[in-house]
C-alpha cells in the first residue's frame, strides 16, 4: 500500500542526526524550555526572515496564544473558515472569542477576502486566515482589508511551513502566525508541538508569559497563563528537520508536478495563484464521485485521506451554535468532493506516477458521466 503520509519515512531519512539530537537532550538533563527550544526559536525566526518565535505545545495552542497575545478574548469576534481542521475554531474558542465562519474561494479553498469584509461587525477583532493544503490565502487583499478596518490578522500556517507569497514567507504578513509541528506536517516533530511567530517583540513577550503560567520568575505569575510548552526533545528534532525543509518542500513540488503532468486535462486539479508558491502539504483532487475514486484507489493499493469530510458549521459540536455569515456552498461542495493523494518528501516518483495513473484511469472512465 502506498501511504497517504509517512512520518516514519522522514525519521529514517534523518535517523542518525535525529538520534544524536535526542541523545544530546537526554544527556543534558534539561527537558523543558532549555537551550534546544531557545535555539530552535531563533533558527525558525531567522528562517522566516527575522522576528520572534515562541515554541508552544501544539498548533492549536499556537492559534490560541497568538490571539491571546494580541489581546483577543471574551466578547470579541474572530472571522475564519469552516473548511479547516477543527483545531482552528477550537483555538478561537479557547481564547474566549466567538468564531464567525465564512466561505472559501473555489480552487484554492482559502478564505475569501470579499466575504470577510461582508462579515465584519463592530465586535470583529481578528481574522484567522488558514493557508490550507500549503497554499497561501490572498495575503495582499487580507492585509489591506485588516489594516483598513483596524482588525488583527493571524495566519494559520499549520500546513504552510516555507510557502511564499510574492517571494516572502507566509507567516510574516499578519500580526501573528501559528505553526503546527504535528508529525505529518511539512516540518514535523515526533509528537505534538507548535510555535507562534510575531514580527513585533511586545506580543511575543506576552506569549512567552502566557505559555508558562504568566511567570516572570519561577512560581510568580504576573498575568494568568497556562501550560503550553514546546519540549526539548521536540525542539531538537525540529532543528534537524528545519535544515532540510526547503529541500523537502522542493520534493513535494516535484511530486505535485508529476501528478499535474499525468492528470492534465482533468478539471479537478488544485489551483495555484500567480503570486503564491505553495508547499503542497497535501495534493488534493476534487471529483463529484470522490468516494468511488477513494475506493478505486484503495483497491489498487493507494492510500488517500479526506481533508475535510465535514465542515465545522455542520459538525455536532458547532452546528447551530457558531455564527455563519453567508452561503457555504463552496465549503460544502469541497467536503463532498476533496480527496488527498499521497504526498510526502520520501514518496518515490514511481509511486507518484502509479498513483496518478490509477487516478487518471478512474477519471477517464467517468468523463461524460
pLDDT tens digits for range 291-305: 999 999 999 999 999
C-alpha cell at 142: 487580507
Euclidean distance between CA atoms 157 and 178, whole angstroms: 6
What pLDDT is recorded for position 218?
94
Q: Which residues contact 73 (CB under 8 A, 6 or more apart)?
A: 67, 95, 96, 97
pLDDT at position 267 over 80: no
Q: What pLDDT does 266 receive?
A: 74
Cα 310 to Cα 74: distance, rounded to the nearest angstrom = 27
- Determine the pLDDT at residue 268: 84
CB-side neighbour CA atoms (13 Å) of 185: 28
Label residue 368 by pLDDT band (50, 70, 90). Answer: low
What is the arithmetic mean of pLDDT over 271-299? Answer: 96
Provide mean pLDDT across the span 8-19: 98
- The whole-model pTM stands at 0.97
pLDDT 10s digits, 104-160 = 999 999 999 999 999 999 999 999 999 999 999 999 999 999 999 999 999 999 999
**How many whole angstroms separate alpha carbon 113 and alpha carbon 273?**
14
Helix (H) or strand (E) holding 20: helix 15-28
**Residue 220 host element (H or E):** strand 220-221
Angle made by CA atoms 255, 261, 263, in degrees to the nearest 5: 105
3-state secondary structure 151-174: CEEEEECCCCCCCEECCEECCCCC
Please state, in angstroms and rounded to a whole number, the distance separating the CA atoms of residues 114 and 145.
9
Residue 248, judged by CB atoms within 10 A of its CB (0-12, 13-18, 19+), counts as: buried
pLDDT for residue 274: 93
Q: In 3D, which of 215, 183, 211 has the Cα closest to residue 196?
A: 211
Q: What is the DSSP letter of 362?
A: H
Contact 272, 135 (CB under 8 A): yes
C-alpha cell at position 327: 452561503
Give the mean pLDDT of the chain: 97
Domains identified in the chain and CATH numbers: 7-102+109-242 (3.40.640.10), 245-366 (3.90.1150.10)
The answer on pLDDT for 6 being more than 90 is yes
- The set of cell numbers assigned to 269 is 486539479
Tens-place pLDDT, residues 189-248 = 999 999 999 999 999 999 999 999 999 999 999 999 999 999 999 999 999 999 999 999
Amino acid at each position: 500500500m502506498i501511504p497517504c503520509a509517512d512520518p516514519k519515512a522522514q525519521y529514517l531519512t534523518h535517523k542518525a542526526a535525529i538520534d544524536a539530537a535526542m541523545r544530546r537532550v537526554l544527556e543534558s538533563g534539561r527537558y523543558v524550555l532549555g537551550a534546544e527550544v531557545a535555539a530552535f526559536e531563533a533558527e525558525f525566526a531567522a528562517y522566516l526572515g527575522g522576528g520572534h518565535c515562541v515554541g508552544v505545545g501544539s498548533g492549536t495552542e499556537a492559534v490560541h496564544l497568538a490571539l491571546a497575545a494580541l489581546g483577543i478574548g471574551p466578547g470579541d469576534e474572530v472571522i475564519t473558515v469552516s473548511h479547516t481542521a477543527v483545531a482552528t475554531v477550537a483555538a478561537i474558542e479557547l481564547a474566549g472569542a466567538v468564531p464567525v465562519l465564512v466561505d472559501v474561494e473555489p480552487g484554492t479553498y482559502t478564505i475569501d477576502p470579499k466575504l470577510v469584509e461582508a462579515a465584519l461587525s463592530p465586535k470583529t477583532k481578528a481574522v484567522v486566515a488558514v493557508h490550507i493544503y500549503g497554499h497561501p490565502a490572498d495575503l495582499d487583499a487580507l492585509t489591506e482589508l485588516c489594516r483598513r478596518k483596524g482588525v488583527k490578522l493571524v495566519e494559520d500556517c499549520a500546513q504552510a511551513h516555507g510557502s511564499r507569497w510574492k517571494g516572502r514567507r507566509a507567516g510574516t504578513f499578519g500580526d501573528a502566525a501559528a505553526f503546527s509541528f504535528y508529525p505529518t506536517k511539512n516540518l514535523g516533530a515526533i509528537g505534538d508541538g507548535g510555535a507562534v511567530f510575531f514580527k513585533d517583540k511586545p506580543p511575543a513577550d506576552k506569549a512567552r508569559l502566557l505559555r508558562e503560567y504568566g511567570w516572570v520568575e519561577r512560581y510568580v505569575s504576573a498575568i494568568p497563563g497556562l501550560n503550553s510548552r514546546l519540549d526539548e526533545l521536540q525542539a531538537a528534532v525540529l532543528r534537524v528537520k528545519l535544515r532540510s525543509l526547503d529541500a523537502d518542500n522542493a520534493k513535494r513540488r516535484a511530486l505535485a508536478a508529476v501528478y499535474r503532468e499525468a492528470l492534465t486535462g482533468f478539471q479537478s486539479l488544485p489551483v495555484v495563484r500567480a503570486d503564491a508558491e505553495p508547499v503542497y502539504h497535501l495534493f488534493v483532487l476534487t471529483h463529484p464521485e470522490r468516494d468511488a475514486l477513494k475506493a478505486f484507489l484503495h483497491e489498487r493499493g493507494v492510500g488517500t485521506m479526506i481533508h475535510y469530510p465535514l465542515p465545522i458549521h455542520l459538525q455536532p459540536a458547532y452546528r447551530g451554535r457558531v455564527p455563519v455569515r453567508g452561503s457555504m456552498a463552496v465549503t460544502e461542495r469541497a467536503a463532498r468532493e476533496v480527496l488527498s493523494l499521497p504526498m510526502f518528501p520520501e514518496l518515490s516518483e514511481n509511486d507518484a506516477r502509479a498513483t496518478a495513473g490509477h487516478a487518471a484511469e478512474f477519471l477517464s472512465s467517468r468523463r461524460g458521466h
